[in-house]
Structure 1
Amino acid sequence: MRDQLQQEYQVYLGKEIHDNGLYGFEGNDGRYFLIPYEEGQDDEVYEQRTICEYIRNQGAVQIGVPLFTKEGTLYTQKDNQSYMLVHVPWASSDVSEGEWLTNLHDIGNRYPYQPQQISRYGQWKSLWESKVDAWFEQYKVQWNERPSSSMRRLFIETFPYLEGISENAIQYLQESEQDWRYEQNDQGTFTLKRLHPSMMSQIIWPHTLVYDHPARDLAEWIRYSLLSHGTNAYPAIRTMLDEYERNRPLSVFSWRLIYARLVYPVHLYDVLERTLQAGEGEQNTLEQEYRSLLQQQGQYEKQLKEFFDAVHIDYKRLSIPILDW
């Protein structure tokens, strides 16, 4: 495999390495990893590569850049699967999480083009509605299927709750989009599909990038913190937000988008989507993960009711509505 890749990409590949489930090689100027390439997504992948190269040239964030083969393609074949070879230079970063996110969003604001293939900016409402509709169809199918597995029965029992809370989030978002209190920092920027705090100390991979409102990353970071640390999460959340707002103050519009995204139960949908591709052996693990998140929902909703107070935002003075759970 090494010889094939060296020939196709015209690079030197040394010792084999494994990092976070990825297979790769050490090189003279960094590391090289094989990342699955989803065929049929060429336009999106090429756009992501251009953006990755731009981010790397700004020098503030460690990011992988897919390489072209000597034939000019972005992928190669191994065991009937397509892969990209992604180069990651030797680097390290010791900035805080707030500074890291500020750097990424500032770079995205300076990008001279409007991404088309990976843009989710202004599309939350339609995307959320489509997700609810798709899972409603699943609900109808699984209602009539027999025999019914434990996970299937759990989904049937809980989908009406998911649908209801999703509709609440969509309604809140729709009203928020009519709020004119936005600022320059509300323009689109580079974000991640689903930001996890660990990403801030690791590598950004090309396929994780989307172009969206910066509230996306902030909400997903906060969501993870609330689900992981409960009521103990707020001091770290406030610290991170203070670091971020030092250079990128949040508008009322941004706060409303953050809240709308926190209400929308994407963490529950994410687990459900994984069950669709999971083998029988993984279903039990995913069912337990889903049950655990459902058990946390009551506490999570309570935290959202107290959210603005906990992050020291005077939502009453600013006329920011909150849901009456």
Structure 2
Amino acid sequence: MIEEIIYKNYGIHVEKEESLGQFPSFRSENVLYSIIPLEKLEQEELVERQKMSEHLSQQGDRYVSSFVMANHQSYISEADGHMFLLLANNVLAEGRDLRLGRKLALFHARARSITYPIKKCSRLGNWKILWEQRIDQLEKMWKDKLHAHPNNQFEKLFVETFPYYMALGENAIQYLADTEIDDNPSAMDAGTICYDRFANDTWSGKYCIKNPFDWIFDNGSRDISEWIRQHYFKNQQTYQPGLQQFLHDYQSVQPLTSFSSRLLYARLIFPIHYFETIEGYYSNPAEARSLQLEDEITVYTEKSVYYEEFLRSFYDMAGIPVKQMNIPLLSWL
């Protein structure tokens, strides 16, 4: 059914289904198409995503998905009562990237020059309130489990360890608040296009696709910190060389300011990895998933002392001149 509607509305034959991230995708001739369902998206958000896509394409990024206009002169079509739109990418194979930090910096630099105001897709300046809400919600869950008594190993670990991670999160919020009071952002700290959780595999795979519906608008330190977090937990014994190379490559294009360095550090202090494990357990209690998350929380909690060591040595290891930039350190680390 959807194939017929796509041909009728866009004149495109669905030749071969493809697996490209979270959206249904297919190939036609030498173009890759993604089908984006629109039930939960507002008009203002759609316009912002289109503007971001157009801007990066105009800046020369060949991997950015473009919106496809239908025959009825709208980007939006309907199939079985559901609204959708199409995104298109030329087929461009992307080999394993050994200089991902540099590519991310170029992506941020291109996106930072966008003049269209991004509001719906923006997280810029909202970290503090979002982090506070997250801690409050988890604290309520923790109190419920504490009073009800945990009935399995995961809940036992949650009850025992949450106070520590709540304190860590509160330290991150205070560090962020102090940064926003004490430091002044420069033009290089302006908002740019980011991902929720940028990682090694974000732009890898059979094809490199930069899908506007994967983006948010934020400070570029978000992507750097989330790449570092993922890299650290995947390579806890050998993370230093890769981390240093990534930061060196990024800063060969765009050196970090004191403001962005402090935001990056605040985000590393905030234990998103732990919080997401707790949230994942209670939002999807399937047994196989629960066992996987139990393993994750066990690793995080048993090795928390090593993460503290990582935080303690981070600025020095990253080559960020804390004295020259007047960057404060956490006294308790």
Normalised by the size of structure 2, how large is the TM-score?
A: 0.86
Per-residue deviation, 1:262 = 0.5
Consecutive unaligned residues of structure 1, counting only runs of 5 or more, are: none
Per-residue deviation, 1:302 = 0.6
Q: Can you list the C-alpha shifts for 1:25-50, whole angstroms capped at 9, x where unaligned?
A: 21124112334545254432442233
Decide which of 223, 233, 241 is 1:217's aligned counterpart: 223
Task: Confirm or deny: 8 A CA contact 2:106 2:253 kept in the other structure.
Answer: no
Task: Confirm or deny: 8 A CA contact 1:47 1:115 kept in the other structure.
Answer: yes
Decide which of 156, 163, 166 is 1:153's aligned counterpart: 156
Confirm whether residue 243 of structure 1 aligns to residue 244 of structure 2.
no
Per-residue deviation, 1:117 = 0.2
Tell me which moved more, 1-10 or 304-313. Answer: 1-10
Tell me which moved more, 273-282 or 130-139. Answer: 273-282
Equivalences for 1:92-241 in 2 at 5 Å?
92-93=93-94, 96-145=99-148, 148-180=151-183, 182-201=185-204, 202-241=208-247
1:30 aligned residue: 31
Any idea what SS the aligned residue of 2:163 has? helix
The change in CA–CA distance for 1:145 and 1:211 in structure 2 (over 3 A counts) is same
Any idea what SS the aligned residue of 1:34 has? strand
Tell me which moved more, 217-226 or 238-247. Answer: 238-247
2:281 aligned residue: 275
1:265 aligned residue: 271
1:59 aligned residue: 60
Q: Can you list the C-alpha shifts for 1:302-325, whole angstroms capped at 9, x where unaligned?
A: 111011111223323433222222
Task: Confirm or deny: 8 A CA contact 1:139 1:156 kept in the other structure.
Answer: yes
Task: Confirm or deny: 8 A CA contact 1:97 1:200 kept in the other structure.
Answer: no
CA RMSD of aligned residues (A): 2.6
The change in CA–CA distance for 1:148 and 1:321 in structure 2 (over 3 A counts) is same
Separation (CA, whole Å) in 2 of partners of 1:73 and 1:64: 13
Task: Confirm or deny: 8 A CA contact 2:157 2:297 kept in the other structure.
Answer: no
1:3 aligned residue: 4
Confirm whether residue 44 of structure 1 aligns to residue 50 of structure 2.
no
Any idea what SS the aligned residue of 2:87 has? strand
Task: Confirm or deny: 8 A CA contact 2:150 2:156 kept in the other structure.
Answer: no
Task: Confirm or deny: 8 A CA contact 1:25 1:33 kept in the other structure.
Answer: yes
Separation (CA, whole Å) in 2 of partners of 1:97 and 1:44: 28
Task: Confirm or deny: 8 A CA contact 1:60 1:103 kept in the other structure.
Answer: no
Q: Can you list the C-alpha shifts for 1:198-233, whole angstroms capped at 9, x where unaligned?
A: 113332222321111111111111111111112522
Task: Confirm or deny: 8 A CA contact 1:190 1:211 kept in the other structure.
Answer: yes
Tell me which moved more, 177-186 or 212-221. Answer: 177-186
Task: Confirm or deny: 8 A CA contact 1:39 1:82 kept in the other structure.
Answer: no
Task: Confirm or deny: 8 A CA contact 1:119 1:211 kept in the other structure.
Answer: yes
Separation (CA, whole Å) in 1 of partners of 2:62 and 2:133: 33
Separation (CA, whole Å) in 2 of partners of 1:77 and 1:290: 42
2:316 aligned residue: 309
Q: State percent identity of aligned pairs.
A: 27
The change in CA–CA distance for 1:183 and 1:285 in structure 2 (over 3 A counts) is same
Task: Confirm or deny: 8 A CA contact 1:66 1:206 kept in the other structure.
Answer: no
Confirm whether residue 300 of structure 1 aligns to residue 307 of structure 2.
yes
Per-residue deviation, 1:65 = 3.7
2:327 aligned residue: 320
Per-residue deviation, 1:61 = 5.1
The change in CA–CA distance for 1:64 and 1:207 in structure 2 (over 3 A counts) is same
Task: Confirm or deny: 8 A CA contact 1:62 1:203 kept in the other structure.
Answer: yes
Separation (CA, whole Å) in 2 of partners of 1:40 and 1:265: 29
Task: Confirm or deny: 8 A CA contact 2:24 2:34 kept in the other structure.
Answer: yes
Q: Can you list the C-alpha shifts for 1:171-224, whole angstroms capped at 9, x where unaligned?
A: 111111123354321111111111112113332222321111111111111111
Corresponding letter in the other structure for 2:212 = P
Task: Confirm or deny: 8 A CA contact 2:37 2:83 kept in the other structure.
Answer: yes
Tell me which moved more, 5-14 or 206-215. Answer: 5-14
